[in-house]
Amino acid sequence: MSIQLKPEQEAALKKMKNGCILNGGTGSGKSITALAYYFYSNGGIFSNGYYIPMPDDGEGTPPDLYIITTAHKRDTREWDGDMINFLLSTDPSINIYSNTVVVDSWNNIHKYTEVKNAFFIFDEQRTVGRGTWAKSFIKISRNNEWILLTATPGDKWPDFIPIFIANGFYKNRTEFNRRHIVYSAFSSYPKIDRYVDTGRLIRLRDSILVNMDVQRHTVQHHLYISVEYNKDTYKDIQKNRWNYTKDEPIQNASELCYELRKCVNGDLSRIDSIIDILHERKKAIIFYNFDYERDILLEYLPKLCTVNEWNGHKHQELPDGDSWAYLVQYTAGCEGWNCIKTDTIIFYSQNYSYKTMMQAIGRIDRLNTPFIDLYYYHLKSKAPIDLAIGRALAQKKKFNETKWVNSFA
């Protein structure tokens, strides 16, 4: 057994503390660094090839370990490979300690709100907003030690509110709003005009953010493939605001953008380009947004190679063999799993979110990948909506449908 941390991981380990956010790029080794923090902070030692276990009194030392992660990571037991380095396991017959080890998904976080005196690793940040996940996270944080792992820390102050509350910086969301938010006086609903005392917010964020920039051996190559679209149909939809599928007027900006994207992304020049890429690369992950895109991919690709999927319809594993395509819907699978079987990702269409795109890119850029050169194929047309989404992503922003539609309305 050998635990080999990179210098960047060792440096991050020294800065970590209860309630911190370990911020490392996708594939940077956050999982093993988090486990090392749990191991060392509870008295374990690994030095010069010698493994000295954590003290175990059978009465809460070491504390129970709960890992809250994505359903995909839980189901594929991805954490098992890192835990075994520390002789930890969800299987009591393998775990050398008397503590309980649980790996579960964010969907089940509410089950653990009554747990006390344990250690939680929250993998892949899901604490934003006001929903059940954020509320459960805050409740758990009050009675347990915890750390949070992310490759994409929040880029807006509301993203940090639950974490600030969990660290005791604010009593609740109301106190945060009172101290830092000025609402617009000219809006019929609560609309944030600006934030105040941001110096304090920056200081608080920096006090819990532990950055881990691991030196990689990989080189990313991003190739942009030009594809076509039906210009006449596109102009007709935009001008007449008519949904030809439902045969009724388009009601809002979201519906208009959906119909324009369907016109653009449904063009068969995209599947032609994908077939060409697969003939060359042989094995590829293909990210897409909508079911109609999936339908096109499933109509043509099985004639060419083995096709497996991860989406709301199917949860299949990565294919084996010499030629395959793995179809992944962005929302279902942009994070929480890794692949070292291929060096190629194809983006059938762009996602609105910069964070989502970065998470998707990271699926094959792992520290343990055998590949050096990684290839990313972006299929893009010159349709106005495709160009607008691309501009937002280039600025590391999320595409705003309403703002874009209003720009030419």
pLDDT of residue 46: 80
Question: Which residue ranges of the chain lie beneath pLDDT 70?
Answer: 1-2, 48-49, 125, 129, 155, 409
Contact 398, 353 (CB under 8 A): yes
- Tokens 């299929």 correspond to 379
- Tokens 């030809």 correspond to 244
H-only helix segments in 94-197: 132-141, 157-166, 173-180
Who's near 297: CB < 8 A, 6+ residues apart?
271, 274, 286, 288, 307, 325, 327, 348
pLDDT of residue 153: 75
Who's near 258: CB < 8 A, 6+ residues apart?
none
CA–CA gap between residue 202 and residue 13 (Å, rounded): 22
What is the pTM assigned to this prediction?
0.71
pLDDT of residue 191: 80
**Do β-strands 242-243 and 306-310 pair in parallel, antiparallel, or remain unpaired?**
unpaired
- List, in order of start, the domains of the chain with CATH numbers: 7-212 (3.40.50.10810), 219-406 (3.40.50.300)
CA–CA gap between residue 362 and residue 344 (Å, rounded): 11
Contact 328, 311 (CB under 8 A): yes
Contact 363, 310 (CB under 8 A): no
pLDDT of residue 49: 64
User: Cβ of 94: how many Cβ atoms within 10 Å?
Assistant: 13
Length of the chain: 409
Closest CA to 274 of 343, 328, 345, 217: 345
- The DSSP output letter for 315 is B
DSSP H/E element including 31: helix 30-41
Return the beta strands (E) in 64-167 as ranges: 65-69, 101-105, 119-123, 145-150
pLDDT of residue 262: 96
User: Cβ of 351: how many Cβ atoms within 10 Å?
Assistant: 21
Contact 112, 74 (CB under 8 A): no
